[in-house]
Chain A
């Protein structure tokens, strides 16, 4: 299986703190790769680096997408190449309709696509199409709409940052199935999570701690290591004021 995404020796430093340190990993095409780690391990920062968000330009290392160095590319240019991100806490938008948001990145603007993706994430088309994507939506609704937008976009690779958090109305099994369906539809998944239960659907897993990859392997191996070794590990949290020369 060829690699679709590769991060080589990534460093990220913010406010004189090292957030990510010498991080190297890759994601095989048409697979689900999981990045597992505790809160504060650097998972969301890594997602931001990969997507090229402002304030997350790596202080060292390169990011490659389909063999192309995308380290200097804007968010838009990365998205146009087929890379996208579903945020852990998605943004809300005053005045923007749910249907318009979902269809923004879709090549096919037909109503059938909208209906299909809303049904996939258990949202009623009639109730949600004309709703505004503002703060009147619950966190769970907003997360599901984010997933629907990813389904409509059909990216080559999506980074799902904690896709199961805040979705109380959908079971974990449903989320897992949605992610598997997404992969089977041709999208590669980079799954970022702190819950080992969801890692089992991955084809490959990485454990991140203290901004470093501390273990990689099969989901089973990584989850076992996470359960047995991580509590006492130095990487568990980044100590306050921790700095190192990069």
Chain B
């Protein structure tokens, strides 16, 4: 019991350091779940939200259902993580946002002591009609870089619905990141995918974002911001396909390299309907020395100036 309490305490400390407010887990109005390894350390649900969890080997399966017509008032808080230096955590999520429903969710994945950790998330999402789901995932890793993170999100955005996903990994080392989004968007639906990552050391970052605009007037924005330093490497593959009339999509990828880092950007646009339109922009460059020197002229050290610039880019 004491061991679990220690684990809970350390996880919450890491959660706070990653920008979360751990006190919110004790608020009965806020839906939440805390999973350390394969143990559910805390869970709270609210009216209109079904939240079920089941331990599996090396992780947990979650079922999240927002019932028809329900708009969850407060954002759901999720905390996943591992305190030990080594281990595997697999989280399988099946989420359904039924018709005329909506929820915001903020997830923090914390691995403060990671040396040999694998974290996989398989997220299957179904959003009904006239609904919304905003999902933000922030990672907090230790400094060793011994971690592999593989979040895969696959789903369907129903008619007149919205899915907004933000993935943030700025604190600590990335290790290996292999993230995939694969979304289908129906009539008048909208998907917005944002990825913000700061790679250091020999971090390896692979980002694949796919949006298929299948319904008339469907919309997609796929935006990535990656900053690399040292010997880090990144490859961003952003793809939007549009097969329905008046579908609109835009790919926006910016990567900043420092040191010996290497960045690749591959925007893919596919249009198979003459009334659809998809645009893209991709830029790879370095930090502006004028901007660094401007901040240095206010008394900041070079490292502080770079941190401010990077945080600005990844804001």
The interface of chain A, by Cβ under 8 A from chain B, is: 51, 53-54, 74-76, 78-80, 84-85, 87, 90-96, 104-105, 149, 153
Contact = CB atoms under 8 A, between A and B. Distances in A.
Nearest to A104: B298
A93 B298 contact: no
B297 A91 contact: no
Interface in B252-303: 288-291, 293-302
Given A79-B299, A105-B299, A90 B294 contact: yes
Contacts of A87: 290, 294
17 contacts: A54-B289, A54-B293, A75-B297, A76-B296, A76-B302, A78-B297, A80-B299, A90-B294, A91-B288, A91-B290, A91-B291, A92-B291, A95-B315, A96-B309, A104-B308, A105-B298, A105-B300
B301 A76 contact: yes
A79 B297 contact: yes
Contacts of A153: 298-299
A93 B309 contact: yes
B312 interface: yes
A76 B300 contact: yes
Nearest to B299: A79
Secondary structure of the B side of the interface? Answer: helix
B26 interface: no
B314 interface: yes
B311 interface: yes
Interface of B: 288-291, 293-302, 308-309, 311-315
Contacts of A95: 311-315
A80 B308 CA distance: 18
Given A76-B300, A76-B301, A104 B295 contact: yes
Contacts of B312: 93-96
A75 B296 contact: yes
A84 B309 CA distance: 19
A78 B299 CA distance: 8
A77 to B, nearest CB: 9
A93 B288 CA distance: 10
In the A-B complex, list the 5 residue pairs whose CB atoms are closest, starting with the nearest: A95-B312, A105-B298, A95-B315, A75-B296, A79-B299
A78 B309 CA distance: 21
Contact of A74 (B288, B296, B308, B314): B296
Contact of B293 (A53, A92, A96, A105): A53
Contacts of A51: 293, 297
Given A79-B297, A84-B298, A87-B294, 20 more contacts: A75-B293, A75-B296, A75-B297, A79-B296, A79-B298, A80-B299, A85-B297, A91-B288, A91-B294, A92-B291, A93-B291, A93-B309, A93-B312, A95-B313, A104-B295, A104-B300, A104-B308, A105-B300, A149-B298, A153-B298
A94 B300 CA distance: 18
**Most A-side CB within 10 Å, residue of B289, B291, B294, B298:** B298
**Most B-side CB within 10 Å, residue of A80, A95, A149:** A95
Contacts of A105: 298-300
A182 to B, nearest CB: 16
